[in-house]
Amino acid sequence: MQVPFKDIQNTNLPDQQRIQEDYRRMLEDALAIKRKAIAERLYTPQALEGLPASAVVAALGVGNPVAFTDIHPGDRILDIGCGGGIDSLLAARRVGSGGEVIGVDMTPEMLRLARKNAEAAGLSNLEFVEGVAEDMSFIPDESLDEVISNGVINLTSDKKRVFAEIQRVLRTGGCAVLSDIVVNGKIPPEVLTNPAAWSG
């Protein structure tokens, strides 16, 4: 769907520290109970085949951006808010050894797991970097073929900056495929100001 740019707002978000704490806790829970329900709802059994179990249970997204991305061998891809790395791993399989995937996330525990998952999957064409979507200045201008993101941009503090960053790092003709949640209508203030409604 298309969302008018003027409607992209920075609503009453909990601060980044609170979001990190929530995702730390969710990751611990996911690894402890080995719940595969999110991954099984979003990805086909063929896509999940061969992925490390700890990548599958750590899936916390809202869609499957890789399935909608026209990825070619040799492409360079950025996964914003990569979490435990499920989409980065799927993209890395598609770009092959001549391509590269960069996963960026602000939560160190997520990055540690993503690196472990890449190693367990036997993939070396991935790099996981700690950083925020609002400032990815460590990525050169126009250096990427595709950007993907899954369930992250709704959590970012400055959405216009995130979109400006996506535009900056993509080469001319590059493409962004974003799975996320958008608001269509009014949300009651008690929900909007409840941190658990954002990442709980």
Ligand X SMILES: C[S@@+](CC[C@H](N)C(=O)[O-])C[C@H]1O[C@@H](n2cnc3c(N)ncnc32)[C@H](O)[C@@H]1O
Query: Interface with ligand X includes 102 (CB under 6 A)?
Result: no
**CA-CA distance, 32 to 45, in Å (whole number)?**
22
**CA-CA distance, 157 to 93, in Å (whole number)?**
31
Contact between 185 and 158 (Cβ < 8 Å): no
Q: Quick one: 151 or 174, whose CB is closer to ligand X?
A: 151
Instruction: Give the interface segment with ligand X, choosing from 7-15, 43-51, 112-120, 131-139 (CB under 6 A).
Output: 131-139
Q: Quick one: 44 or 97, whose CB is closer to ligand X?
A: 44
Supply the angle between the helices 86-95 and 108-120 in degrees, to the nearest 10. 40
Least gap, CB of 172 to ligand X (angstroms): 25
Query: Interface with ligand X includes 90 (CB under 6 A)?
Result: no
Query: Interface with ligand X includes 156 (CB under 6 A)?
Result: yes
Q: How many residues bind ligand X (CB under 6 A)?
A: 25
Alpha helices by DSSP H, listed for the chain, are 16-33, 37-42, 45-48, 53-57, 86-95, 108-120, 159-169, 189-192, 195-199
Q: Quick one: 63 or 174, whose CB is closer to ligand X?
A: 63
Binding positions for ligand X, rule: CB under 6 A:
19-20, 23, 59-61, 81-84, 86-87, 104-107, 110, 132-134, 150-152, 155-156
